[in-house]
Amino acid sequence: MLASFPNALPIEGFIGGLAIGLAAAIMLLALGRIAGVSGLAARAVNIADGGAPRGIAIIFIIGLPLGAYVTSLFMGAIETNYPESLLMLIIGGLCVGYGTRLGSGCTSGHGVCGMSRLSPRSLIATIIFMLCGMIIVAAMRYFGLIPA
């Protein structure tokens, strides 16, 4: 399977995805909330006024690196190839931060929670951000900003 994509991780991806979906299901069924990371992050640092109780937002956001750390204890080093360019990290972060607030969500909120709820808003948002990401990456490849 997937012989044409030797680097793909279909099994790990699916299992990791199940964990992410389970986390979102726990947030929904136990706490009655959407597990949208951008919204919870904004709430955690008091940028958003409404939304989840601040304690829950803070502890969820702290849980993200903690869970990744525990996983690395079991799996060994986890590959993280960040862009070498500081500018790409900063411009990327600024766009993601502004865009997720304006568009009310990111990959988790719209992509996972909203699409599974068949929300047209989330479906549209997910299609747009995926397409836009693909166009940007294609442009970066065209201008030689991504290594061949």
Site for another protein in 86-145 (CB under 8 A): 86, 88-104, 106-108, 110-113, 115-117, 120-121, 124-126, 128-138, 140-141
Helix ranges (DSSP H) in 32-119: 37-44, 54-75, 86-102, 115-116
Q: In this chain, which of 14, 76, 143, 144 binds another protein, going by CB under 8 A?
A: 14
Among 5, 76, 143, 144, binds another protein (CB under 8 A): 5
Minimum gap (Å) between residue 73 Cβ and another protein? 10
Q: Single out the residue of 22, 76, 143, 144 in contact with another protein (rule: CB under 8 A).
A: 22
CA–CA gap between residue 34 and residue 5 (Å, rounded): 33
Closest CA to 60 of 30, 45, 40: 40
Decide: helix, strand or coil at residue 144: coil
| Euclidean distance between CA atoms 4 and 10, whole angstroms | 13
**For the chain, first and last CA: distance in Å?**
25
Interface with another protein, residue 37, by CB under 8 A? yes
Q: Is 65 in the site for another protein (CB under 8 A)?
A: yes
For residues 26 and 32, the answer to whether their CB atoms sit within 8 Å is no
Q: Any contact of residue 82 with another protein (CB under 8 A)?
A: yes
* 1 contributes a contact to another protein by CB under 8 A: no
39-58 residues in contact with another protein (CB under 8 A) are: 41-42, 45, 47, 51-53, 55-57
